[in-house]
A = this chain, B = another copy of it.
Amino acid sequence: MVVISDSDMRDRGVPAITYSLRGLCALEVSLKTANTTDLHSGMFGGGGQNANHLLVQLLSTLHDANGKVNVDHFYDEVLELTEFEKEQIKALGFDEEKLKKSLGLTELTGGETNYPYPEKISSRPTLELNGIWGGFQGEGTKTVIPNEAPGKITCRLVNNQNPEKIQGLIKKYLEEQAPKGCTVKVTLQDTGNPFLTPIDHMMIQKAAEAYEQVYGASPVYKREGGSIPIVLDFNHTLNTPVVLMGFGLPDENLHAPNEHFNLENFDKGSLTICSFLERV
């Protein structure tokens, strides 16, 4: 077993065990039309194909009207949440108005419309267009018909998706759906496995008992939407369960100016780890 303290508590006096992190895979797509150069719309406008048009056309098909990823077999290995997990997520609470206000959004319309927001950002896989570009980006106007338009894609992945397999599915999709009159080249980039130690795993339960003893409160169980690469590596390379027992508080300015750490949790954290080690 590996124990890592790089996650946070729910609140002061409310410990949390993070039992899942999302994995990742990344791709770059390069779409090319004329292999010589950009074209001028005065000479070719309305006749020569425009790489921006074709990229927009291709990428707009990656999600359906419900925000589901349109790539065949993308969801095949996705573990659905158990009822207990859904209850845990509900118990964590979610203040939509507060979140929208903090982000400056009038609506939250990302991702799959059929899932509640807290599930979308933690237990569901995603496909994001992190970058697109083609043609002229300066001030004013240029009547250029670009011959090349690239895009960058990353997916957040969940158990039991395999990052390399998902990369392959997306590459295949983009190549097969390439519009007429262009070539689409897909480059595979980084991957990282998703991580999950089941809540009912003995090591998670021992950690819960240790928290209860020291804090006098049961921990909440959380899935994080991000990735901590070293956790994924320990989990998959050593083939051992990983238990994330973190003692930071959400308002301690993690990795930012004036980062700090509550002394109560320094003491109680040490005691919790001791109790945990005794129990296992």
Asked if A14 is at the interface of the complex by the 8 Å CB criterion, the answer is no
Interface flags, A126-159, vs B, CB<8A=1, else 0: 1011111111110011111110011010101000
Query: Contact: A131 with B126, CB < 8 Å?
Result: no
User: Is A164's beta carbon under 8 Å from chain B?
Assistant: no
Interface residues of A in 3-56 (CB under 8 A from B): 22, 24, 26, 33-36, 39-50, 52-53, 55-56
Q: Does A111 contact B (CB under 8 A)?
A: yes
Q: What residue in chain B is nearest A156 (Cβ atoms)?
A: B45
Q: How far is the CB of A209 from chain B (nearest CB, A)?
A: 30
Task: Indicate whether A106 sits within 8 Å of B181 (C-beta atoms), given known contacts A42-B224, A45-B121, A136-B152.
Answer: yes
- What B residues does A145 contact at CB under 8 A? 110, 128, 130
Contact A104 B35 (CB under 8 A): yes
- Residues on B with C-beta less than 8 A from A112 are 46
Assess whether B34 is in contact with A104, with CB atoms less than 8 Å apart.
Answer: yes
A129 touches B33 (CB 8 A): no
**Range of interface residues on chain A?**
35 or more
User: Which among B43, B117, B137 is the interface contact of A131 at CB below 8 angstroms?
Assistant: B137
Verify if A98 is at the interface (C-beta below 8 Å from B). no
Residue from B45, B129, B135, B137 within 8 A of A225 (CB atoms): B45
The stretch that binds B, out of A57-65, A193-201, A235-243, is: A57-65
A41 close to B132 (CB less than 8 A):
no
**B130 near A132: Cβ-Cβ < 8 Å:** no
Q: Given A45-B156, A141-B152, answer yes or no on A50-B107 (Cβ-Cβ < 8 Å).
A: no
Mark A185-225 against chain B: 1 for CB-CB distance below 8 A, else 0. Answer: 00001100000000000000000000000000000000011
Q: Does residue A268 face the partner (Cβ distance < 8 Å to B)?
A: no
Using a CB–CB distance below 8 Å, which chain A residues touch chain B?
Answer: 22, 24, 26, 33-36, 39-50, 52-53, 55-57, 59-60, 63, 102-112, 117, 120-121, 124-126, 128-137, 140-146, 149-150, 152, 154, 156, 179-181, 189-190, 224-227
- A-B contacts, 21 listed (Cβ < 8 Å): A36-B104, A39-B103, A41-B154, A47-B108, A47-B111, A47-B120, A55-B56, A56-B129, A56-B132, A57-B60, A60-B60, A110-B145, A129-B135, A130-B136, A130-B142, A130-B146, A132-B135, A137-B152, A141-B152, A141-B154, A141-B190
